[in-house]
Structure 1
């Protein structure tokens, strides 16, 4: 999904993860990211972050999911709708990798309120397409409109390009 490593982005802050995942290591500075696409795939998580980063199921109310021309998904406001996905817990270093994967500035991180499966509202980062063109609804139960093998290959390609400082 990425084109060229670029770190020209503005760091904004989502809520700090309070889940046992972040507390287990006693490390502060982990943030929520709501994923509705390829980051849900556990193999993609392990390739890019070196571990499972999923906290649990969540929904993004007031949005619907669409497929872009390149086969990756994006969300747009849609009153009365919601996007099902997963809440992830990422470090600041993980967010750098996520930005590279999401091809910032093609996608931008925005702060949105998402609902965890227990109904608790949390503020999380959500990647939104900067300039969406097509409005083709994304099929339910899919993570991208391209073969999974291509997604995995792209994740491995990005991981091979990362410097040790990008992944801690």
Structure 2
């Protein structure tokens, strides 16, 4: 796998740092205590509590390694570097869905921060990729799972990217 840069907003960086800190300081102790309790039950060869705790520990350590790797490759978007002349990472873009005649706002973020439920879309997603570099008034056709949709860029603002 090619190690690629992880683009984060300041808010996204803080979220990852907070999760990593919680895993290292709180969850590690909790899981270690569960393992200790499971060992106290006796024979670990047929001890489902022990197996569960060890699996949880492995998953947690894998997540810690992933977060640490993301932080090593992180590039934080500086709010001062955001150009409002075109859609870029860190901007919130208001678009009109031509087919459904509805207006939607997306904040363009790096893939590590994408959260469709908060309308934060990745710069690598089909919609995010299609919108990058577009200016107010531009229209763009995007291949989505249901077919092709057309968006018109109405407004570009700085997204909520600070801590």
Question: Normalized against structure 1, the TM-score is what?
Answer: 0.27
| Higher relative strand content | 1
Q: Which has the larger radius of gyration?
A: 2
Question: Normalized against structure 2, the TM-score is what?
Answer: 0.27
| Higher relative helix content | 2
